[in-house]
Amino acid sequence: MTLHQDSEASASRGTPPPRKARNRLVNIDNGGTLTDICVIDADRVYRAKTLTTPHDLSQCLFDGLRKASLAVFGREDLQALLLSTAAIRYSTTQGTNALVERKGPRLGLIVGGTLDAAAVTAAGAAGDLLDAVVGARIVRLDAGLEGQALQSAAVQAVADLTAAGANRLVVSFGGPRRREQEAQVKRQLLRTFPPHLLGALPVLYASELVDDADDPRRTWTAIFNAFLHPAMERFLYSAEHKLRDARALSPLLVFRNDGHAGRVAKTIAVQTYGSGPRGGMQGASELARHYGLARLLSMDIGGTTTDIGLVDAGGIRLQRRGRIESVETSFALCDLVSAGVGGSSIIEARAGGIAVGPQSVGSAPGPACFGLGGTQATITDALVLAGLLEPSAFFGGDLRLDPARAGQAVREHVGGPLGIDDDAAVAAMEQAWVTKVADSLRGYTEVGADTTLAAFGGAGPLLACRIAETIGARQVMVPGLAAVFSAYGIGFSDVGHGFSQQLAAADDAALDAAMQALRGQAARAMYGEGASLDECRLEWSIEESAQGRVLRTHALAGGHMPPEVARDAVLTLQLLAVKPVAHASMRGAFGAAAQEATSRGTREVLLGGRRRALPLYRVEDQPAGVAVRAQGPAVLEEAYFTARIDDGWSIEINAAGDILLSRGAEAHS
């Protein structure tokens, strides 16, 4: 990849006129602490970061876009950036955070047919989750009700649930007649509570959301979607309208956890869950493919969490029935684990030891060293005291760190309670933080000799060498765009939508009927994305399942039932329609001849219990387009990340700006 890092250098060469062609790609990853912007312009990538503004997410969105326009043009020109952009792809943790914090609508649940509340409760493995989002607002309609009796009972159920405080409803029936019975209820509720009235009650029918024969799983999927929908709807439509007001010509495309993007109006809320970390996995997949890495364990460390995933010979590891807070859903999700440890995680002495997270100070008030009102100690404060983080160079020089506040927080919350000095407290905090990250990585997968650790996110590279040693990895890949890598990874996505329908029988006639139905759905959806089916890639498959478990999936090349399909299994036809969008591209290789890296003096850093003057290598100081090497111990730094390179580790920065850290004599070829 090619990285254009220095907006001031661009300004010194003069301000280029805005391009009339809409050829730029803008990717935005809105995290809990920081919002990252990546602008891809042919073989150049510009980036910007801004603090997330949780009180108004559109503020950090536009702050980031203005900073990005400064990097592109050498001056702030939001309109020029938007007018020259072909696609804006966006991911956000807004919905995810709403679920984590249990901040959302008061849901009511109506179940019927063969489904009862006990089955839904049993499927909700996440303890208090059902109590938190639904509580006692559950009504079961008698399984024997039909026709007018069923419709009358449904009206009464709505009245009871709204009286109990529900402001959004989920309707889910079980059994083979679930779609028919839900449709009866829907017709009656539309007559009784017409949607044109002010204060009309939103109702989600589970069978309309997804065709899944597992009734409790489909119900939970609908519950999650109904809970996430209001927060996502309010913000995303607001952001889209503000972008239009700012003269954006391209629609806002929401990046989803299935690896594709779509317009706001075509996006299912539950599929935005974990979409930011999935962007990092998209990038990691391309990284593994480009460099021929057999097994890439990704470690995306932000302010609040460490998101962990794996890319191997099978590509990105997926869960066919993705889990949200341990509850199985109907949709496939990337197999990601989010550990509660990041650069802003609170570290404190507790019961004679040191506890790390999962609570985080986020960006507001932030670590104590930010000087924004935070008083808790974090790893960021510890590494300021250790000398690794230079106060005047942090966050591209936009945020000056305060060592005095960092020291006060460390002494108050760690050193004082444990009766140790600053250096000992910093060393203990580092050990505890590294251990928690390493334990999370090992808990996710085994680490073998063929495993390369990918370290990205603002805090990913910080102590990557020590983390790698702890888990037994001998190579660490730090992408040149590590600090905004999830935003960059979104740039490898296309516009796409998936559709599915259970087959009525295991024969060609049933298959043809289902194919026609799904083709019609896909045509309508892709028309809304500005494309005809002729412009799309269509991928057909048949999924076999039994007792709610997927047995196998068969690719479907023609309109005939594959002979190897088990005729007694539950068969589901699946269609993925994809409209290609321009992608980012990677280049570069490791192992070629390289010159010695240019050092910018030294930095005194606490390492191994004593302070040492380590060579400082700034990525921006290295000659462009030339591979360079250096040996640890050292400090490697660029505008938005810092990494301590420990004893026994070597650094190789290739001509594309990507970085390979190797332990001992190991080298990538």
Q: Can you give the CATH number for the domain in which 43 is found?
A: 3.30.420.40
Counted domains in the chain: 5
Residue 341 clears pLDDT 50, i.e. is over it: yes
Residue 115, Cα to own-chain centre: how many angstroms? 33
Question: Is 659 found in the same domain as 519?
Answer: no
Residue 649 clears pLDDT 80, i.e. is over it: yes
Question: Is 439 found in the same domain as 295?
Answer: yes
Residues 58-85 as b or e (16 or more Cβ within 10 Å = b): eebbbbbbbbbbbbbbbeebbebbbbbb
- Residue at a domain's end among 550, 579, 608: 579
Residue 534 clears pLDDT 90, i.e. is over it: yes
How far apart are the C-alpha atoms of 154 and 201, rounded to whole Å?
Answer: 14
pLDDT tens profile 107-118: 999 999 999 999
Instruction: Please compute the mean of the pLDDT values over residues 76-87 and round it to a whole number.
Output: 92
Residue 126 clears pLDDT 70, i.e. is over it: no
Q: Is residue 630 part of a domain?
A: yes
Residue 667 clears pLDDT 70, i.e. is over it: no
Which two three-digit tokens encode residue 661?
A: 């850290």
- What is the dihedral angle through the alpha carbons of 575, 578, 584, 585, rounded to the nearest 10 degrees? 70
- Looking at 258-262, 321-325, 463-467, which range is the least confident one? 321-325
Instruction: Please compute the mean of the pLDDT values over residues 54-72 and round it to a whole number.
Output: 89
Question: Is 202 found in the same domain as 112?
Answer: yes
CA distances 492 to 202, 282, 581, Å, are 35, 7, 8
The pTM of the full predicted model, rounded to 2 decimals, is: 0.83
Domain CATH for 166: 3.40.50
φ and ψ at 346, to 5 degrees? -75, 130
Residue 166 burial by Cβ neighbours in a 10 Å radius (0-12, 13-18, 19+): buried
pLDDT tens profile 393-438: 887 777 889 999 999 999 999 999 999 999 999 999 999 999 999 9
Q: Is residue 668 part of a domain?
A: no
Residue 503 clears pLDDT 70, i.e. is over it: yes
Question: Is 313 found in the same domain as 446?
Answer: yes
Residue 354 near residue 410 (C-beta atoms within 8 A): no
Question: By three-state DSSP, how is residue 477 classified?
Answer: strand
Q: Is residue 416 part of a domain?
A: no
Residue 485 near residue 277 (C-beta atoms within 8 A): no
- Residue at a domain's end among 444, 459, 487: 487
The CA-CA-CA angle for residues 360, 362, 364, to 5°, reads 125
φ and ψ at 74, to 5 degrees? 85, 0
The neighbouring-strand residues paired with 645 are 634
Confidence band for 14, pLDDT divided at 50, 70 and 90: very low
Q: Is residue 284 part of a domain?
A: yes
Average pLDDT, the chain: 89
Residue 459 near residue 381 (C-beta atoms within 8 A): no
Instruction: Please compute the mean of the pLDDT values over residues 333-362 and round it to a whole number.
Output: 90
pLDDT (0 to 100) of residue 10:
33
Peptide bond into 105 cis (omega under 30): no
- Residue at a domain's end among 579, 605, 635: 579
Beta-sheet strands, E only, within 73-120:
85-92, 107-113
Q: In which domain, by residue range, is 505 found?
A: 495-579
Question: Is 80 found in the same domain as 29?
Answer: yes
How far apart are the C-alpha atoms of 622 and 597, rounded to whole Å?
Answer: 6
State the amino acid at position 250 in one-letter form.
S
Residue 162 clears pLDDT 50, i.e. is over it: yes
How far apart are the C-alpha atoms of 60 and 73, rounded to whole Å?
Answer: 20
pLDDT (0 to 100) of residue 618:
94
Question: Is 449 found in the same domain as 308?
Answer: yes
Question: Is 123 found in the same domain as 89?
Answer: no
Q: Is residue 622 part of a domain?
A: yes
The fraction of the chain above a pLDDT of 70, given in percent, is 94
Instruction: Please compute the mean of the pLDDT values over residues 162-167 and round it to a whole number.
Output: 93
Residue 510, Cα to own-chain centre: how many angstroms? 38
In sequence order, what are the residues at sequence separation of 6 or more whose Cβ sits closer than 8 angstroms to the Cβ of residue 630? 596, 597, 599, 615, 617, 636, 645, 650, 651
The neighbouring-strand residues paired with 39 are 26, 46
Question: Is 116 found in the same domain as 95?
Answer: no
In sequence order, what are the residues at sequence separation of 6 or more whose Cβ sits closer than 8 angstroms to the Cβ of residue 297? 308, 309, 310, 441, 444, 445, 447, 451, 452, 453, 454, 473
Higher pLDDT: 246 or 100? It is 246
In sequence order, what are the residues at sequence separation of 6 or more whose Cβ sits closer than 8 angstroms to the Cβ of residue 326? 125, 126
Q: Is residue 148 part of a domain?
A: yes
Question: Is 455 found in the same domain as 514?
Answer: no
pLDDT (0 to 100) of residue 97:
67
How far apart are the C-alpha atoms of 637 and 546, rounded to whole Å?
Answer: 53
Question: By three-state DSSP, how is residue 628 classified?
Answer: strand
- For every residue of 325-384, DSSP letters joined together read TTEE-SS-EE--EEES--TTEEEEEETTEEEEEEEE-TTTT--GGG-SS--S--HHHHHH
pLDDT tens profile 245-296: 988 888 899 999 999 999 998 899 998 888 888 999 999 999 999 999 999 9
Question: By three-state DSSP, how is residue 39 classified?
Answer: strand
Question: Is 185 found in the same domain as 54?
Answer: no
Residue 669 clears pLDDT 60, i.e. is over it: no
CA neighbor of 363 nearest in space, from 342, 348, 382, 338? 342
Q: Is residue 254 part of a domain?
A: yes
The neighbouring-strand residues paired with 348 are 355
Residue 127 clears pLDDT 50, i.e. is over it: yes
In sequence order, what are the residues at sequence separation of 6 or more whose Cβ sits closer than 8 angstroms to the Cβ of residue 295? 310, 311, 312, 448, 450, 451, 452
The fraction of the chain above a pLDDT of 90, given in percent, is 60
Q: Is the dihedral of CA 377, 381, 383, 385 positive or negative?
A: negative
Confidence band for 665, pLDDT divided at 50, 70 and 90: low
pLDDT tens profile 557-604: 888 888 888 878 889 999 999 999 888 888 889 988 889 999 989 999
Which two three-digit tokens encode residue 47?
A: 């980036």
Question: Is 538 found in the same domain as 471?
Answer: no
pLDDT (0 to 100) of residue 367:
94
pLDDT tens profile 355-364: 998 888 887 7
Q: Is residue 138 part of a domain?
A: yes
Rg (CA), the chain: 26
Residue 305 clears pLDDT 90, i.e. is over it: no
C-beta atoms surrounding 204 within 10 Å:
18
Question: Is 449 found in the same domain as 302?
Answer: yes
pLDDT (0 to 100) of residue 1:
42
Residues 24-54 as b or e (16 or more Cβ within 10 Å = b): bbbbbbbbbbbbbbbbbbeeebbbbbbbbbe
